[in-house]
A and B are shown apart, each in its own frame.
Chain A
Amino acid sequence: AQTVTQSQPEMSVQEAETVTLSCTYDTSESDYYLFWYKQPPSRQMILVIRQEAYKQQNATENRFSVNFQKAAKSFSLKISDSQLGDAAMYFCAYRSGFYNQGGKLIFGQGTELSVKP
């Protein structure tokens, strides 16, 4: 079975600085997708960034980028120029590329990010 681990329950960053959130996963599959979701206090789940396992290039979305290390099964999220609005719970998630898995997301435990002004 696949697992996702986020070893940092809480992180803190100064406004305008850079922070990296860690995520490791375990799978024997070759076809899968990895995601970072943001959950602010409103509890809405917001997709931050997505990475296809078959792509070697790291995904980027504006101030958000990932460091995808497939061999090490590591998928960290870097937030540059942190803003107060980035404060939220961040979840790393895995989804199998195999249709018989039903497309379910397997989540890590989450990292609570606070941003100091």
Chain B
Amino acid sequence: DTAVSQTPKYLVTQMGNDKSIKCEQNLGHDTMYWYKQDSKKFLKIMFSYNNKELIINETVPNRFSPKSPDKAHLNLHINSLELGDSAVYFCASRKSTGGANYGYTFGSGTRLTVV
């Protein structure tokens, strides 16, 4: 069983479209994250949810909207896609309670290409 699974793994779409990326974890973690890896492979935090509550919202265009229906799921919806949104998006999860040193588990990433 995959611990953190993202769908789809690849997404090619046209500018102006709206798309969603889904993430699910079966580890019982309470905190989930979205990271963006750009074309230079730089990784940057976008959002984080803890027990369905948004706790991190970095400087991200409001075309990006995360949603967490429950602790095991975190989705990312992107409106009006632009060329600059092309990147690899990683979902990750961790258990925050009981100490701050619990490690992350990453999904395998979604490569989004906007044409």
Contact = CB atoms under 8 A, between A and B. Distances in A.
Interface of B is mostly: strand
Interface in A20-42: 31, 33, 39, 42
A68 B92 CA distance: 26
Given A33-B101, A43-B108, A44-B106, A103 B96 contact: yes
B106 A107 contact: no
Contact of B100 (A39, A97, A106): A97
B21 to A, nearest CB: 15
Contacts of B50: 102
Given A45-B90, A102-B55, A102-B56, A107 B101 contact: no
B71 interface: no
A104 B45 contact: yes
Most buried by B among A42, A43, A98: A43
Nearest to B102: A103
A71 B18 CA distance: 48
Chain B's interface size range is 20 to 34
Interface residues of A, number: 24
A50 B96 CA distance: 16
B94 A103 contact: yes
Given A99-B100, A102-B55, A103-B48, A89 B41 contact: yes
Interface of A: 31, 33, 39, 42-45, 47, 50, 52, 89, 91, 95, 97-99, 102-107, 109-110
Interface of B: 31, 33, 35, 40-45, 48, 50, 55-56, 88, 90, 92, 94, 96, 100-101, 103-104, 106, 108-109, 111
Nearest first, the 4 A-B pairs at minimum CB distance are A45-B106, A107-B43, A102-B56, A104-B45
